Structure formats: structure tokens, C-alpha cells
Amino acid sequence: MFFHIVLERNMQLHPRHFGRDLREKLVSKLMKDVEGTCSGRHGFIVAITGIESVGKGLIRDGTGFVTFPVKYQCVVFRPFKGEILEAVVTMVNKMGFFAEAGPVQIFVSNHLIPDDMEFQSGDVPNYTTSDGSVKIQKESEVRLKIIGTRVDATEIFCIGTIKDDFLGVISDPGANA
């Protein structure tokens, strides 16, 4: 799920930033450009934890910009098949529901919801057990298992299930009302 890895990136800096605080400008630009992004290969970059090295800059022809190779340590979030996550439901419809676990969006199909839960349309669409004791609706917290992932260049999508033991609703926002 979470990994601490070393990555490299070429950073371009405008000449107006050259001076005493060149390294700080590079680091702040790196954090702004990289944190919160997703690379399909490594996952979502959560935070930069350290700078290993800043190489010598190369001036780009025709411009005053200089390219610096930067090697940095970071924490990444990458979900895997078979992993158990806690997520917050963001949308419910008759096809299933969407939930978010940090930056990743997970879809749980109605075929992967226990058979005793039925879709209820109305003011607040939800999945409810026949006795009404358990309800999945927007803002519900669920524990789910990832059964599949699809990785794009800039995003990771997951398919989940709550049909196994110890999976399902953790907290129900409707119970507090």
C-alpha cells in the first residue's frame, strides 16, 4: 500500500531564481510539481521526504532555463489486488457504489455486494439489508477488498468487493441522525 522509494526528475528553473536560495527554490518547485500526482508505474506520490542529490544544471539552448537532475525520496501509495482497505462511499446507484480510499477511487458492483442487501432508491439512494440493520449510503465507511486494478499513465482505478468475511460497513452516517 505505502512504499518509501527513490525517484529522479529533471527540474527546469528560470534564471530569475538563481542565487543563494537556488536549492530551496528547486525543492519547493519539486514539491509543488510532484506531490499529489500519480504515475501508473509507482502510484500516487503522497509526500517528498528528502532530497538525495541535485545534479549540475544544463542550460537549454535558445532559452535561459536550466535543467537540474534531482534525486529524491518519497512516500507513494499503490493499491494491489487482494489488499483490504477502508474507504468512504462517495456515490451509490443501482449498479453498485463508488468509494474513495485516499486518492484512489474504487467501484463495488452490485454483484460484489452481499445478496441480502437490496438497492433502495429515494431521497438518499442506498443498499440496505432486509431487516434494515445495515445501510450503505453516501458518506458510509466500508471495509473492502480490492479484486482488480487498472493502471493508466496518470491514474489508478480499482474494483472492490464487500462479499467476503469481515468486510462491509464500518460506520453508517444515517445511524447518528
| Greatest alpha-carbon span in the chain | 72
pLDDT recorded at residue 50: 94
pLDDT recorded at residue 175: 60
Q: Per-residue pLDDT tens for 15-39? A: 888 889 999 999 999 999 999 999 8
pLDDT recorded at residue 47: 94
pLDDT recorded at residue 61: 84
If you classify domain 2-77 with CATH, what class do you get? alpha beta
d(CA 54, CA 34): 16
Q: Where are the domains of the chain?
A: 2-77, 83-171
pLDDT in tens, the chain (177 residues): 899 999 999 999 988 888 899 999 999 999 999 999 998 889 999 999 999 999 999 998 888 899 999 999 999 999 999 999 999 999 999 999 999 998 899 999 999 999 999 999 888 899 999 888 889 999 999 999 999 999 887 888 999 999 999 999 997 776 654
pLDDT recorded at residue 45: 93
Backbone angles phi, psi at 172, to 5 degrees: -115, 115
d(CA 114, CA 161): 9
CATH architecture of 83-171: Beta Barrel (2.40)
Whole-model pTM? Answer: 0.81
pLDDT recorded at residue 176: 54
By the 10 Å C-beta count (0-12 exposed, 13-18 middle, 19+ buried), 162 is classed as buried
pLDDT recorded at residue 177: 46
Q: Per-residue pLDDT tens for 67-81? A: 999 999 999 999 999
* Long-range own/partner contacts, residues 145-150 (CB < 8 A, 24 or more apart): 145/82, 145/83, 145/84, 145/85, 146/79, 146/80, 146/81, 146/82, 146/83, 146/84, 146/85, 146/106, 147/81, 147/82, 147/112, 148/81, 149/79, 149/80, 149/81
